[in-house]
Amino acid sequence: MIKAAIVGCGKMADQHAVQIQRISDAKLVAVCDAEPLMARQIAERFNVPAWFTSVDEMLASAKPDVVHVTTPPQSHLTIGKKCLDAGASAYIEKPFTLNTADAEELIELANRKGVKLTAGHNGQFTHAMNQMRRLVADGFLGGRAVHIESLYCYELGDPAYAKALLGDSDHWARKLPGSLPHNIISHGVARIAEFMTGENIVVSAQAFSSPFLQEIGQSDIIDELRLIVRDENATTGVFTFSTQISPSLHQLRLYGKKHSLVVDDDHQVVIRLKNKEYKSYMRFFVPPVTFAGQYLRNMAKNFGRFLRNDFHLPNEAGLLTLIKAFYASVQHDAPLPIPYREILLTSRIMDAAFEQMNVQRQEQALRSLVAKEA
């Protein structure tokens, strides 16, 4: 039986608590939040036997095997270290840490203490992403990926988070080094990091505030980000983060030497782009039919899974899969669901992006100042 605890009792904590309760050999033994009312309310709703306002007290008293850290990212390093020092493994929500140096420190400490870490990249474990990974493992791409495109959109109208952010000039997400994208893009960037084979990553970034945010006087928030990534093995990736693209898409395109793949995470659809030649005009008639067949099979697969009570919403399904795999790693020393290399590479790409973003922000601010004075 895994004894789990949660630190940080906001909206993400609820999602974790729901999934932990779905795992038969896990028990949520404690919750903790600096705000006692928040700690108490989740304990009451999920029948958690103990709630705390101090992480140290919780670790000493409840002695959890795994701690889920769902606090704002600024506290991930400090809380993560406390957990690891106390001998607990830690599931740390995304973004894993504020920067790569902090991530390295945590991983080094986990290795030293003989405990484990994972990052909250549950978007990597949706049904569609799992299917994609099986196809890649079976050699569908014909080797490693040549190029990766990851599109990760975000709706500013989302009342669950964006309204809180826009309505609060002191919101913690505004204070992140990478602005709004820092709190969101880990899922999308991790999808690129997973398939980069080299270690020397070059990142080129374009970041700006959308005209929408500028109009409503919130240009201190960056909500548009484009990245081009390349490693020494000539694997390339393009990442797009946007609040303005409609519909709000979450897609991954993997291009191989033999075939390619499209993962539509919004609809849990995986489409195979096969390198197959058709005679003359047949190329315009046959592939659309085969694509239609693929979409139908995706629908059947999703519906079948729903009937078997094995679908759930993609992020919830991904969260459950990731938590289960992490617990298996902690309990039975199974491989980590997310290799540390992938966590660090994701962090390095984000560091490079935010460094350039902040230079561009300063330039943008300077241009605005000059324009005002003129």
Q: Interface residues with another protein (CB under 8 A)?
A: 9-11, 13-14, 18, 22, 35, 37-38, 41-42, 45, 159-160, 163-164, 166-170, 306, 309, 311-312, 316
Residue with tokens 């007290």: 57
How far apart CA 73 and CA 89 sit, in angstroms, is 18
Q: C-alpha angle with apex 24: 20 to 26, nearest 5 degrees? A: 50
191 neighbors 91 (Cβ within 8 angstroms): no
Structure tokens at 292: 């239609």
Classify burial at 284, counting beta carbons within 10 Å of its beta carbon; exposed 0-12, middle 13-18, buried 19 or more: exposed
* Phi, psi dihedrals of residue 207, rounded to the nearest 5°: -135, 145
- Closer of 40 and 81 to another protein (Cβ): 40
The pair of structure tokens assigned to 242 is 């946007």
Burial (CB count <10 Å: 0-12, 13-18, 19+), residue 24: exposed
Neighbours of 343 (CB within 10 A): 27
CA dist., res. 87 & res. 83, Å (int):
6
| Whole-number Å distance between alpha carbons of 276 and 279 | 10
Q: Are the beta carbons of 105 and 349 closer than 8 angstroms?
A: no
